[in-house]
Each structure stands twice: as structure tokens, then as C-alpha cells.
Amino acid sequence: MPGDLERGRQKVVWAEDHMPVLGGVRRRFEAEQPFAGLTLSLVLHVEAKTAALALALRAGGARVHLAAGNPLSTDDDAVAALRDRGIATHAEKGESVAAYRDGVRAMLDADPDVIVDDGADLVALVHQTRTERGRIRGSTEETTTGVTRLKALERSGKLLFPAIDVNDAAMKHLFDNRYGTGQSTIDGILSATNLLIAGRVCVVAGYGWCGKGVAARLRGLGGDVIVTEIDAVRALEARLDGFRVMPMLDAAPQADLIVTVTGSRDVVRADHLRVLKDGCLLANSGHFDVEISKPDLEGLAIAHARVRPQVEEYRFADGRRAYLLGEGRLVNLAAGQGHPVEIMDLSFALQALSAEHLARHGRTLAPRVHAVPEAIDRAVAEAALAPLEVGLDRATEEQVRYAASWEGGT
Ligand SMILES: NC(=O)c1ccc[n+]([C@@H]2O[C@H](COP(=O)([O-])OP(=O)(O)OC[C@H]3O[C@@H](n4cnc5c(N)ncnc54)[C@H](O)[C@@H]3O)[C@@H](O)[C@H]2O)c1
């Protein structure tokens, strides 16, 4: 459905007004024009915060093309506002997988100098269709799953250009994955269902950066939270943070809500569905819609109906029902409004500065996965503290000497 231009404009203004760090980057870009003459292709969740990034990159001289990072995460109002501002945008909420892929292909056809990717679908397409990097100076990657794919590409020896791992910058995963996914996943679940969290048994699959945030927020709302893990360290961390930890097979019969955030696949599958508690809500906040097995849901169910805009009911032969939210896609974007604006301010400031780094130095960087330069991470942290009026102590000269010496001890 076409979005509402006026609503879209208002959403973009609201986002830009609450993104002071990206705003500072944008003002410098306007003066320095680091992307003059360059084309940037972005595959990201298309909503108002992303519009603020696209406009900041364009203010730096770039021709910007933008496509959806997921068929269900688009805000059509933001699309209307982006098109009105002259940004070529390929995205429509609820588009088919074929239309989604056409959008990613259009980003490649735009012949980019720099790629900004989320989940590595555009980078994968480059490598499926080309054997040379052409004019591509490099790519930046937003999320854990995309970084996992890039590292697999690097290990295969086929990575054609440098890729900057934005996800693992401190200013990304500590805030976006934990606080952003934590809050917005709840937003998506509540918007989809209008149900109460307090008193519900909530199972969080995966206690990584995202899972920690989701588990903490569910507990904050009064949920009785169980964690499932495959990693002993993370399982211990969850236990010492006060959560019950058990295999999914034991958790599923008790669960009123299961949230998957693992980056893996089939985390909820037939074995679990066979013992699932009646009425359980199933939500995914991991990058791809494979964490809750839709083929298994469809295979076991005898009836299937959409009962609310973002809720599908699957009824099993014994009468039990499971409710899948947001078609098993990222629930915070499919059914909610995505990460809070201030969180995307940090993530997109990192993206903008990493894209600038590639524009300036990409041709001389080795074709491997690179960390975000420490100076960029620090600059974003310092800029983020300023509007919060958080002051820092500075180490004295004596403290600097002490930290650099080995002689001093007891
Ligand atoms: N919803 C969002 O907006 C959003 C934001 C950031 C990241 N993500 C995505 O969320 C996913 C998780 O990201 P992360 O940064 O937390 O990753 P992470 O690597 O920090 O954590 C993933 C955790 O899942 C665990 N795990 C893996 N397979 C499992 C299984 N079968 N059962 C239980 N636990 C399992 C791992 O041991 C790990 O502790 C990724 O797909 C990432 O791309 C989504």
C-alpha cells in the first residue's frame, strides 16, 4: 500500500531531531563532501531512521540507492518521504520474496562504489554474479548474521573487497543489539498481540547480545523468563543473571511466549511444536525467518488462519494452538517500529563514518573483514555522551604512566 507522504515527512523529521550524533556527522559531510561523485547502495530496513542515514550520506555528495533489508520491515510512509526527497527506494511492506530480491538486484545494477548491507544479501549477490570487485571500494555490515556470512566468504578465500564489521563495534552491539533489540522486540510483541507479559512464562532462545536485552526487558515487565542456549559460557552467564536455563524440549511445554534470537535455524522445530503449550506465542527477532520452522508449523497444523494483522494461528490435531507473530520475521520491525531512535543514531553514525572510511581508503584496504577503526568507535561514544550531559574524568599524567608500566606492584 502506498505510504502517506505527510506522515512520512513527520516521521523523518522526528527521527532526525532525535539523532544528534548522526546530525553532527551530516553537518561535517555537508562541508567536506567525502562521497562526491560516488554511488552508495544501501540494503537496510527502510524506515524513518534509515531515511536519516540516507539523507546524511547524500548530504556528503553521494548518489544514494536504497532497498529493503527484509520483505516485512518497511515503513511505507518513510518510503514516500524518501522518494519525495529524491532517494531511489525499492521497498514495500509485505512485498514478495521475488520483489525483495529485485530490490537487492537493483542495488547492484546501480553500480555502487560503497555498499551498506544488513544481513549480507547484497554482498552475497555480488559474489554470486561477479568474479571481480569492479568499482566497489568496500561494504559495511550492520548485523551479526551478515558478519557470520562475510567471515564464511573470507574463509573461502573469495571475498573480493574489504568489508567493515560494524556489528562488532562497541558502540553497535553493546547498545543496538542489547538495548535496541531488547526494547523493540517487546514493542513488536505487544503491538502484535495486545497481551500482558507479567505472569507469563517467556522463553528466550539465545543469550547473546540480543538475547540478554530481550530477557532483561521481559523480566522487567514481570515475565517469568527461561533461557535456552547451546554455549556453556552463555548458559552460565544467563544462570548467574538469575534466569532458569534448560533445553528447548523442556521449556516448550511451559512456554506462553518463545522469542528466538540466535542467528541459527530451526531453533523451534517439530519436536518442540509437538509438546508446545496450548496458546504459546512464537516470535523471532533473529535476522532471518528460519529460527522458527515454518515448514514444521505448516506440516503439523491441521488449520491455519490469520487472527490479527501480525498473528497467525496454527491449530494442531489435538486441539492445541500456536500463534506465530510477524510471519516469523524480525518481530521488532514486522510488528513494531524497530529500534528506538537514539539507538539507531549510534548505529547509523558508525555506518556513515565506516562508509566514509571506505570511500577514502577502501581501495588500499585488503579484501578481508575489518573492524571499525577504534577512532570511529570512540568518536561516536564521545558524541553520544555530549547531549546526555555526561562528563568524564581524565586520567592524570601519573595514572597514564602507571597504566603503561610493569614495575609497580605490591
Ligand atoms: N531484531 C533486531 O533488530 C536485531 C538486531 C541485532 C541483531 N539481530 C540478529 O539477532 C541474531 C542474534 O544476534 P546476537 O548479536 O545476539 O548474536 P550472538 O552471537 O551474540 O548471540 C547468539 C546466541 O545464540 C546462541 N545460539 C545459537 N544457536 C542456538 C540454539 N540452537 N539454541 C539456543 N541458543 C543458540 C549462541 O550460542 C549465542 O549465545 C542475529 O541473527 C542478528 O543478526 C537482530
Query: Rounded mean pLDDT of 102-116?
Result: 98
Task: Find residue 117's DSSP bridge partners.
Answer: 141
Distance from Cα 205 to the centre of ligand 1, integer Å:
8
Which residue has the least CA distance to atom 25 on ligand 1?
Answer: 206
Taking only the tens place, the pLDDT of each residue in 268-299 is 999 999 999 999 999 999 999 999 999 999 99
- Could you give the 3-state DSSP secondary structure of residue 151? helix
Probe target for ligand 1 pocket from 209, 210, 230, with the most ligand atoms within 8 Å of CB: 210
User: Ligand 1 pocket: which residues have CB below 6 Å?
Assistant: 143-145, 173, 176-177, 181, 205-211, 228-231, 234, 261-264, 267, 285-287, 330, 332
Q: pLDDT class for 2, splitting at 50, 70, 90?
A: confident
Ligand 1 atom closest to residue 207's alpha carbon, by position in its atom list: 39
Q: What percent of the chain lies above the pLDDT cut of 70?
A: 100
Probe target for ligand 1 pocket from 149, 227, 233, 287, with the most ligand atoms within 8 Å of CB: 287
Name, in order, each residue with C-beta under 8 angstroms of 334's C-beta and a sequence gap of 6 or more: 70, 72, 73, 188, 310, 325, 326, 327
CA–CA dist 211, 343 (Å, integer): 17
The answer on pLDDT for 408 being more than 90 is: no
CA–CA dist 226, 254 (Å, integer): 10
> What are the phi and psi torsion angles at 323 (to 5°)?
-120, 115
Distance from Cα 162 to the centre of ligand 1, integer Å:
24
276, burial (CB in 10 Å: exposed 0-12, middle 13-18, buried 19+):
buried
| DSSP collapsed to 3 states, 74-97 | CCHHHHHHHHHCCCEEECCCCCCH
Q: What percent of the chain lies above the pLDDT cut of 90?
A: 96
Query: Rounded mean pLDDT of 134-143?
Result: 97
Distance from Cα 176 to the centre of ligand 1, integer Å:
13
Ligand 1 atom closest to residue 212's alpha carbon, by position in its atom list: 16
Residue 240: the pLDDT is: 98
Residue 280: the pLDDT is: 98
CB atoms near residue 219 (< 10 Å): 17
Which residue has the least CA distance to atom 31 on ligand 1?
Answer: 267
CA–CA dist 214, 210 (Å, integer): 6
Distance from Cα 187 to the centre of ligand 1, integer Å:
18
Q: Which of 348, 362, 359, 341 is nearest to 63 (CA)?
A: 359
Which residue has the least CA distance to atom 1 on ligand 1?
Answer: 285
Ligand 1 atom closest to residue 291's alpha carbon, by position in its atom list: 31
The answer on pLDDT for 69 being more than 80 is: yes
| Grid coordinates belonging to 307 | 487472527
Probe target for ligand 1 pocket from 177, 226, 227, with the most ligand atoms within 8 Å of CB: 177
Q: What is the chain's percent helix, strand, coil content, to nearest 5?
A: 50, 15, 35
The answer on pLDDT for 212 being more than 90 is: yes
pTM score > 0.85 for this model? yes
Residue type at 376 in one-letter notation: I
The answer on pLDDT for 190 being more than 90 is: yes
Query: Rounded mean pLDDT of 130-141?
Result: 96
Taking only the tens place, the pLDDT of each residue in 56-68 is 999 999 999 999 9
| Mean pLDDT (the chain, rounded) | 97
Distance from Cα 288 to the centre of ligand 1, integer Å:
11
Ligand 1 atom closest to residue 338's alpha carbon, by position in its atom list: 3
Distance from Cα 4 to the centre of ligand 1, integer Å:
34
Residue type at 319 in one-letter notation: G
Distance from Cα 97 to the centre of ligand 1, integer Å:
23
Residue 227 near residue 204, CB atoms below 8 Å: yes
Task: Find residue 64's DSSP bridge partners.
Answer: 40
Probe target for ligand 1 pocket from 70, 118, 262, 325, with the most ligand atoms within 8 Å of CB: 262
